[in-house]
Each structure stands twice: as C-alpha cells, then as structure tokens.
Structure 1
C-alpha cells in the first residue's frame, strides 16, 4: 500500500504499524507548529477554540475521508459546536459499538498536549484499523466544546442513550504527551460504572501482553477524575475510562491551557507508546475479521484465494490507480512493476501489500522457438524446434484470460480473426521460462 500499512494482520502486527513520524507531523500540523494543507490550500491551524476551529475540523474530516471503510459525518449540535464522527461498521456484530475519542477544541493558541495529542492518537488508530475488516463497530469520535463543559460529548452520549445504542466501551484520550519526570507513568481514570472496572483490567492486560518494550507504568485511579469527556458516558451508565498523563503523581503539564503548550514539551516516545497501547485495546475489542489478501506470484500471474462472495480490483502501486478490467482474483501483468489487490466483502474493503512482478520479454532470451504475428491476416505462426510441447496463453490487455493452446507440432498456424479487436498479450513457456508478446488484433 502507498501508506506502508500491512493488512489482514494480527494485533501485534497492527501495533507495529504505529508510525512516530506520521504522529509527529500531524501533531505539529494540528497544533499550528507548521503549515499544512486543508481543502487544497496552505493553512496554519494556530487556534482551535470552539468558535474558530473550522480549519481544524476540515483537517480531520479530510483525512478521515481518505481512509477506507469509514462513514464520516459532522454533527452540528449547536450554532457553536460540531462533533466529528467516523463509523467503521462491524461485519459480524454491527450493533456492538466501541468508541475511541478525544476532544479537539482548545482554550487558546497551539495547545499541543491539550489536546492535539489525544486527537492525533485517535486519527492514528483510525489510520490503522480502518484498513481492517472488524467483527464489531468502531466509532472514532472527535468532540467539540470539552473546554466549555464537556458539551459535545454530552450531546452524543445523551442521544446514544435515547437511541439505546449498545456502546460496549468508551476509551477517552486527553493529554497523553507529557512525561516531565521521565518515569513513563500514565493514569487510567475509572469508576465502578457499568463494566468500567473490567475495561480497566483489559487495558492492563494489553499492557502486560504487548508492552514489554514500551516501559509504561499504569496508575489506576478509582474514583477517577470527572474532568474530561468520559464522565458524560458514566452519567448515562456506559462503560468508559480516561487514559492520560500522570496527574495523580503530580507530573502534569503546567503549560497546558496556555500558549506555551508547545511541541518541544512533549515526550514523543511516551506518547507513541500510549497510542500503541490504545491500538492494542481497540484492535482486540473490534475483533479482526480476516480477509485473505495475500498474493501468490505464480511466475505468470498474481493470484489471491478465489472467494465467490468477494469482488476484486487490481491496482498499480506506482500510480495507485486501478487497472482497467482487472477485476478477477487472478491478474496477469503485462509490464514489470508493483501491484496490489483490493478485496471487498460484505461491504468491507481490504488491500494487500504491494508485490513486485517481473516479466521476461521474448527478445531477452535466445530460445529455439519463434512466434510471429501477421496483423493483416490475423495469423499467429509458431515455430518449435524443441520437440517439446509448448503452452501458449492469450490474455486481454487488462489481464483477463482469453484462450490457451498446446503446440505439439514443429510449426503451427493459429488464426485469431474471431477475437474482438484490441491489444492482447501472448504468453508462452519454454523450459520453465516465461515469454510474452504484445499483439494487436
């Protein structure tokens, strides 16, 4: 894939795709430390206060819309406030909902720790998990007006309760980038509401299972702080908790809520490790629904497992463009290059990794076989001095198989006048080596 993300992987492989460089770039862009591009224009997002955060909102919406398997909506719950909701519907249990969320509003300029760190963490996890098909539904939520009293999240939580949404858990991320004393402590703020204590246990289990190289230490705070968006889900008796830096140990970022909350105060390694932990939790709870997108290179074609309930689309990785007509589980490239396949099943799409494919042209080998084509008469003349049978295959230019011949004679003429006009690829094998010839009928 152009993004470098591996697909149809287990949880550890997905954790390994968490990209510090991508996180760094987006943190700096979202907090106005560097310029970025929004809606095709160069922009600097210096301020994200609720009454002037339209550029920040468009930044998130644009990047979420670029990801597969997401339904992205903006919900204007008031004249001031807009929540951004990206929903990845589960294939097996679409009504079982896991929410990962952060507030994207601020009180002043920059505010990278509060809460660009949480916002970009949710975006990074969406970047990874949207590439997967999942059993359960994931909601990636970005709340507005947290700083005015948890207004955006409260609007959503109350509406969800009224709809009787089956929200299984809410993971709220708020200020996850500062570790002033370098001890790698972080807080899990939880209360005995619904299954929140069990959710806390699951988070700790993820840390023990996957976090041997993260050097994170969890402080469980019960009763946890009510001063962030998870609180409104507790109010509606939903399972929820907060992950944030270690305020319980007096290691808070004293620059928060000021214009001094800047990039150089962050501990990127610490922030990345917390994102990995949250990725592990969300990937586990979402349930990875495996679509086999592994490509087999047969030497003559690229093939994936044929699933009659799936659709296929082959893509040239150098351009990231679909190859016209290449919609089968098998594809025969006509030029050297890197290719991938996009597989859609039950409304969910996964892409394979890119794979190199090298053709071997006829003229690059000196072999005792000659194939010539007379376009005027549509005759294909095959001369074979090997005394072995020759297998010829004809493909449409898009890789679709057309016909196969077995040549046993020393010379054989094949007339192609019954084939529709167009470019075709003739492929044949001599002593295990593949040769190709492009012809126009």
Structure 2
C-alpha cells in the first residue's frame, strides 16, 4: 500500500511538472550519508554548550565548523567569515563556497543557523548544522553545474540578524548583485524521542513580495519529489516563516526549507538535548537534503567527469569565450601563490602574470589578446593545470 501511495503521489507531482526521475548515481551518493557521523556531530555540537552571542561557546562552535569543513577537503580559500554587529557584540557567519562548472556565478545556497538561546540547541539548530555537514562532505568532490554556498548563520535567535546582514552587505553589495538560483534553509529537524518521526515539513514562500511565490512553489515541490525519491520520509507541504530564509524572501529570492513535522516542546530551553530528539530522523533528512542538493545543483553523473574535476584540483577558468577579464577559480588548491599564463596555438606565451595571496576567485585582466584559442596555464611550485580558453 505504501508503494502504491508513493507511486500515486509521484504521478501527481509529475503531472504538475514538478517531478524528477530517479537518478541511480544520485542514490549512490545518498547511500553514503553516515548515521554515525550524524550522531557524532550532534554529540559534539551539544558538548560545545550554550552558543549565545558574545560567549566563548559561540566562537568555539565557529572554530569547530571550520575544522569540520576542512576535514572534508575544503580549503581555507573556500571558507569566508563575515562579521556583523549583534547587539553589543560581534558575531560571524561562515560561508563555504564550491564553484560550479557551468554556471559559476549562480548559487544554490544551503543554510542553517548555529547559534542557540537558553539551551545547547541540539535540535534547534544542531540538527540543521549536521545535516548541512553531510551534504557538504558528500558533494565536495562531485562536479556541480551551479555553484554552492554552504552557510552557517549566527544571530538567528536574535531576530535573523546574521542572515539579514548577509543579504544586505554581501548579496546586494556584490556588483552585479549575487545571482541566487534558490535558498534551501534547514532549521530544527531533530524530531521527538517520544514520537514516530516519519514526515518532514517542506516549506514554501506564501508571503510578500508575491513575485517569487510561484518559483518557490515549484522548487518546494521539487524538494518534495527528491525527498520521496531518495529517503524513506513522507512529506508535508507548509509555509515558510521565522527562519534565515526570510531576509532572502524579502529580497525577492526563491526559497524553500525543511522543518520537523513533530515539533519539539524543548525549543529554546535547557532540555533541547540529544536525549529528547531522534537522530535516525536527522539521518533520513540528511539523505533527503543530499538528494535534493544533487538535483538543485545539477550534479554530474559521470565518473570520468568527476575524476578529471578532482585531478585538476577543481581549478577552473571562466568565462569561455572571454573578452577582457578571465576569472580563476582556485578550487581545492592550497597554494595561494601561482603564475598564470596564456599560450597561443604556436606555443608562444603571450600573457603572463604572478598572483600572490590569491583569493578563491581571482579576476585577471587579459584585454588586448587577439581572438582565438589559447591554453590557459596555472602553475604553482609543484603543480601545473592547463585548460583551453577561447578569447573573442
């Protein structure tokens, strides 16, 4: 009966244009979500204490977040901290960027807050943090067409201060404005230890401005379909409210989100602890989130492409064709000092420059080169990466 109901619900989604087909290679990645990792990370998050603004616990949690991402293979160049004033203290958002292969300037954001209020917040929002960890770990070495920003916000419990600051000072301050495909927020997905947790709430935009509501509805129905394809969870469609996607929604971005169906009575109390939640539920949500992010970012299904992607340290040069400014994505290279050259078809070096203290994305002015095909070459003290580039 359950399989029949699943088939019928999937048929409904497909008839509305929201469905996705099952991708075996995506399922292979989803199957690598680790229940052990979930439990270990929830325990570590809880042990870090009450993560209130201005506390050592909040800073220690930020340090823990950074160490975790680095352990997955992300580099210091891919990690950025954004400071903001929260009351009388300074807090930080942590952003981890993975550059896409086809649309490097368009981002899928997956986010959740790491600050807590009153209690240790193992559910609200340690559960979201550890879910994002698993997605980041599993997608680290997989080429995705769209870029990803994994964001851990602070200041959520003080009125979405961190996410509002990020939208104002980063998203809208980027020139041109940051291009966001969608924002996927994960907040309080730990369930209840005293209940059966087999359903996840999928949240869509129903507020103002209304111009982004239809797109949010499409994306949320895609999230529902992915959840049903890649996890054992049932889904419940609801509306977005009071979490870090709201400043994005107000900015006319497309949002969606996960929130637990059985809502905890321990939120914002000293009893928001692992003993009162369901880590297996978090494990299943991590599977659903991983499947959804593989879909949203259009992850590669080719082993050959993945091998080439990682053999080149995820380094890329874009755009191609290029006119005046070429961007170098440092990928997972840890060397921040390199030389960059352009070689023409006769093997002559026609452009060369040295880059010191390179950012993750480094713009290189190459105006003046003749139109044609070139070999773009990045060289460090012990690595050489070359790719064909067209100048128009």
* Post-superposition CA distance 1:146-182 (Å, at most 9, x none): 0000000111122313421111111111110114431
Task: Identify the structure with the greater strand proportion.
Answer: 1
| C-alpha deviation, 1:289, in angstroms | 3.5
Counterpart residue number, 1:266: 277
How is 1:44-193 mapped onto 2 (pairs within 5 angstroms)?
Answer: 45-52=48-55, 53-69=58-74, 71-78=78-85, 79-159=89-169, 160-163=171-174, 164-179=177-192, 180-192=194-206, 193=210
Counterpart residue number, 2:295: 284
Gap runs ≥5 in structure 1: 1-8, 33-44, 295-303, 313-341, 351-441
| C-alpha deviation, 1:217, in angstroms | 1.9
Matches of 1:189 and 1:293 in 2, distance apart? Answer: 36
Matches of 1:26 and 1:242 in 2, distance apart? Answer: 21
How is 1:2-401 mapped onto 2 (pairs within 5 angstroms)?
Answer: 10-32=25-47, 45-52=48-55, 53-69=58-74, 71-78=78-85, 79-159=89-169, 160-163=171-174, 164-179=177-192, 180-192=194-206, 193=210, 194=212, 195-211=215-231, 214=232, 216-221=233-238, 224-246=239-261, 251-289=262-300, 292=303, 312=311, 346=316, 348=331
**Conserved 8 A contact 2:141-2:310:** no
Matches of 2:310 and 2:131 in 1, distance apart? Answer: 32
Change (3 A) 1:131 1:245: same
Larger Rg: 1
Change (3 A) 1:183 1:311: closer
Change (3 A) 1:311 1:90: closer
Change (3 A) 1:225 1:210: closer
Gap runs ≥5 in structure 2: 1-23, 317-329, 334-392
* Post-superposition CA distance 1:347-392 (Å, at most 9, x none): 5569xxxxxxxxxxxxxxxxxxxxxxxxxxxxxxxxxxxxxxxxxx
| C-alpha deviation, 1:293, in angstroms | 5.7
| C-alpha deviation, 1:267, in angstroms | 1.2
* Post-superposition CA distance 1:297-354 (Å, at most 9, x none): xxxxxxx99x7xx885xxxxxxxxxxxxxxxxxxxxxxxxxxxxx865635569xxxx
Change (3 A) 1:54 1:311: closer
| C-alpha deviation, 1:68, in angstroms | 2.9
Task: Identify the structure with the greater helix proportion.
Answer: 2
Q: TM-score, normalised on structure 2?
A: 0.67
* Post-superposition CA distance 1:206-259 (Å, at most 9, x none): 123223xx1x221111xx24211111111001011221111xxxx321111111
